[in-house]
Amino acid sequence: MRASGAHRARADPAGVVEARADDVIHAPSGRYAGNQLADEESGERGVYLPDPARVLGSLSRHLRSDAIVALQELDMSQVSQVPASDLFMQARRWILEAFAAAGAKLDMGTKLYTTFLRAGLPAPNTIAATQVACGPTSPGYEYMVGVLRSLLPLIERSGVANVAEIGIDILAARLRDDAVANDRVIFLPRIVGAWARLT
């Protein structure tokens, strides 16, 4: 947006977005933008949009006629382990319940197609990928625990769990040791991409 003259996109907790620019936006893109937007004025993150299609439709009015709209979102509920351990399922529950408590749409990736349509945009092309964590050297265990660590204040504030019971500093090692000992495979959240060119 900055390259086209826009200085910021502002989101308030009600999900109202105002694009400030005299020029059109050439090719807007967003990583997890359908679910969350940062407020650049306050620096606050974690403003979850109650109606992403409305926001996308509003922003699309600032686009040039041949612009490409590209978004990427997660399907968080798709995180899984085969065969599943009690430890993994507990960590998964903490993460999903924390995001739900914050108002996030857990499977916004699946909703991207209909979000484009509801925004009045052309039907998008879509693609999906999933990172797989297995074996002793995979960074997937640290990735999952890193997400959980970032949610600790929300987890305690919302009553999802007591931080002390999580044992965050040793959780990645516990997940790794258990997975390696029992030949478990973790499928991290599915990432869905969607893009469309305006006509």
Q: What is the pLDDT of residues 169-190, one digit of tens each?
A: 999 999 999 999 999 999 999 9
Cα(26)–Cα(103) distance, integer angstroms: 30
Cα(116)–Cα(111) distance, integer angstroms: 9
Taking the alpha carbons at both ends of the chain, their separation in whole angstroms is 20
44 and 13 Cβ atoms separated by less than 8 Å: no
The β-bridge partners of 190 are 75
Q: What is the pLDDT of residues 34-59, one digit of tens each?
A: 555 433 333 333 446 788 899 888 88
The topology (CATH level 3) of 2-197 is: Rossmann fold (3.40.50)
154 and 161 Cβ atoms separated by less than 8 Å: no
